[in-house]
Amino acid sequence: MQSNNVAYQFPVRPRPLKNESVEGYILRLGAMNGRNTKNRIADIVGIRLTDSMYEVGNPRYRTLIESLSKTIRLEANQLDNFFVRLSFPLTDNDRFIQNIKLDAPRVCSTCCSHDESRYIKQDWHLAHHTHCDVHQVRLIEKCPCCQYPLQSTAAILNGCSKCGLQWEDYCALPTEVPIYQKVFQSLSQVEQADYISVLYKALVIISRPYDCAYEPLRKVPFSSTDIVYQLNQAFAFLTSKQFQNKLYKMRKDKLLADEKLLFLSKKQIDNLVLLPQIKRPIYLMQHISRMVCAPIEDNGFINKPREKFLVNGTEYCYQVSKNTAASLLQLDIKSIDYLMDSNRINFVRQKGSTTGAFIHLFEIDLFIKMLTNTVKIKRHVGDVDNLISMEKLRKGLKFFNADLTKLISILIDNPIQLYYCSPVVTISFNELYVDRDDITSLLEEQFIPSFNEQVSNTKIREMCFLNKEQYSALKVKFKLTDIDVKYKYSFVSPKKLTTFFTKYMLLNRWVKIHDVKLKSLIKYLETQPDLIRNLLVNEHNIVLYENTEKLKKALNRFLILTSDEPQKLIAFCF
């Protein structure tokens, strides 16, 4: 590509016309100077031409204008003034279809049949602009004679580069401009940006009617389904309650009819079939659609990572987001991340995201089956069974300096018996039950090691069940000094916390965890020999014992005596 040192390299230097696109002007400039391809035009301009340069306002657009202006003997600012910036960006990362410019060019054959209108309008590049406003004919993307896709070369202004058909020899049939395009033209610039956002979101929904994980697309995908048909349905989805209800029913019927999804409850299916929320602009209410819910074609418009995740004949529509997986399992996002990072659940990363991911419904089912491989069914739950639900247990995890992720890791890594208290087995984590004593023992084992990370004073006081005065006395007596302050929280030395809880058993905390009375426990322990009680903080009603094996056995005996369960006593003795 040669350097652009002279300004007369384009002998014919036309000026841009009204509403002419930047890309269209370059092609017309090339056609008038005998350079039919973009590469040959780029040789004159002196830079490599890319799609991002054709959008007015894009940083690379300015580079193109400055180089192009020198070849047509015009100031860069003067050339820039010919081109009009759209009221919305062609590429918007917050839009459901981020880039709404079509890759393939299209033209109005009637416009290009006359010299005065033989140029490419800016609107023709937009996916939703499917008809010529002037002649009311459909814009064409393929040659009507040979069906060859039109190419982005200068030849497109006159006819088909494949079979030689000239636009002036072709007569397009007039047709009514679709409602979705008419509405767009009737709006203000601010309204147009909002309308484009909701229209393309509806287009994604219509093109993937059964999807359980609608994710944004980078560009308008190629489809064998007519784009006008799809956009009409997208508009109907925005404006017709009947259309929305029909689509909702179609989705629900498909999920209910699939025998492979029997592990899902009715409530979970109801959540899966919910369509993404769309905030419909008020001005659309005057265009209430009476359109009948025509057959909806599943085009499978998904990004490449999701396509690669399709294995063993699985359907893309059963892939769900991390948020949906967390909702189905009744876990939090951190727990889902742990399951993915530990390879307990297979997943695929969401394109363009460092945190987003998709999980197949069958993977969720496999995880629950693995977790509940030896699950037992209970007809009822009562104090006799000493069972606690995961729903109730997770509320008390903070008192063990643990979270839901830690609980799941304990359940996976330890052979602990799980129970269902219902004949219906679901994938809901909250509906699992576990023996209260078994899980408490395992959580206590990780309590002291959990201080490897910094813990705030607020959290320590909460997990110890102490008021401010009690906690202050405890800190002073055992020199639990602060080492750091972040935001409004202060943190205690992890080393000193580990030392303290290794040496002492804080019974104020122990009785709350095991749901027993402190006075009854103290009275019992006073009858036990060789137990060392710390009396120095007694005036603050803080009860500390040295953490010995004798103390642990005494505490176990106390629990057995207060539980009225002879079988536990027998097990303990043996």
407-466 confidence digits (pLDDT tens): 999 998 888 888 887 766 667 888 888 888 888 889 988 888 888 877 888 888 888 888
Q: DSSP of 17-30, one letter per residue?
A: PTTB-HHHHHHHHH
Which CB contacts under 8 angstroms, 24+ apart, belong to 253-261? 254/210, 260/362, 261/318, 261/361
Give the pLDDT score at 570.
Answer: 38
Looking only at the bridges linking them, the beta strands covering 97-99 and 217-219 are: parallel
Q: Helix 507-514 vs helix 518-525: angle between axes, to the nearest 10 degrees?
A: 120
CB 381 within 8 A of CB 434: no
Mean pLDDT of 158-177: 93
pLDDT exceeds 70 at position 208: yes
How confident is residue 312, by pLDDT bands cut at 50, 70 and 90? low
pLDDT exceeds 70 at position 537: no
In 384-481, the DSSP E strands lie at 387-389, 418-420, 432-435, 455-456
Quote the CA–CA distance of 95 and 200 in Å, as a whole number. 8
Tokens of 568: 């536990």
* Residue 141 DSSP code: S
Mean pLDDT of 144-172: 93
Give the pLDDT score at 571.
Answer: 41
pLDDT exceeds 70 at position 313: no
* Residue 286 DSSP code: G
Each residue of 545-558: pLDDT tens digit? 888 889 888 888 88
Which of 40-49, 301-310, 475-484 is predicted least confidently?
A: 301-310
Give the pLDDT score at 143.
Answer: 94
Mean pLDDT of 356-375: 84
Each residue of 101-122: pLDDT tens digit? 988 899 999 999 999 999 999 9
Looking only at the bridges linking them, the beta strands covering 455-456 and 432-435 are: unpaired
pLDDT exceeds 70 at position 62: yes
Each residue of 66-91: pLDDT tens digit? 999 999 999 999 999 999 988 888 88
How confident is residue 1, by pLDDT bands cut at 50, 70 and 90? very low
Quote the CA–CA distance of 515 and 228 in Å, as a whole number. 66
Which of 50-54, 75-79, 531-535 is predicted least confidently?
A: 531-535
Quote the CA–CA distance of 22 and 16 in Å, as a whole number. 8
Which of 19-33, 171-185, 491-505 is predicted least confidently?
A: 491-505
SS3 99: strand
Give the pLDDT score at 395.
Answer: 86
Each residue of 7-39: pLDDT tens digit? 448 999 999 999 999 999 999 999 999 999 999
Which of 147-161, 277-291, 503-517 is predicted least confidently?
A: 277-291
How confident is residue 346, by pLDDT bands cut at 50, 70 and 90? confident
Determine which helix (DSSP H) or strand (DSSP E) holds 64, and give its type and residue range: helix 59-71
How confident is residue 252, by pLDDT bands cut at 50, 70 and 90? very high
**Residue 166, strand partner residues:** 159
With helix as H, strand as E and coil as C, how does 217-249 read?
EEECCCCCCCHHHHHHHHHHHHHCHHHHHHHHH
Mean pLDDT of 306-325: 80
21 CB-side CA count, 13 A: 23
Tokens of 9: 């390299």
The better pLDDT of the pair 452, 235 is held by 235
Give the pLDDT score at 513.
Answer: 84
Q: DSSP of 28-54, one letter per residue?
A: HHHHHTT--SHHHHHHHHSS---GGGG
Looking at mean pLDDT, say which of 322-326, 385-389, 483-487 comes out highest: 322-326
Quote the CA–CA distance of 394 and 516 in Å, as a whole number. 19
How confident is residue 141, by pLDDT bands cut at 50, 70 and 90? very high
pLDDT exceeds 80 at position 220: yes
Phi, then psi, of 184 in degrees rounded to 5: -60, -45
pLDDT exceeds 50 at position 566: no
Give the pLDDT score at 538.
Answer: 62
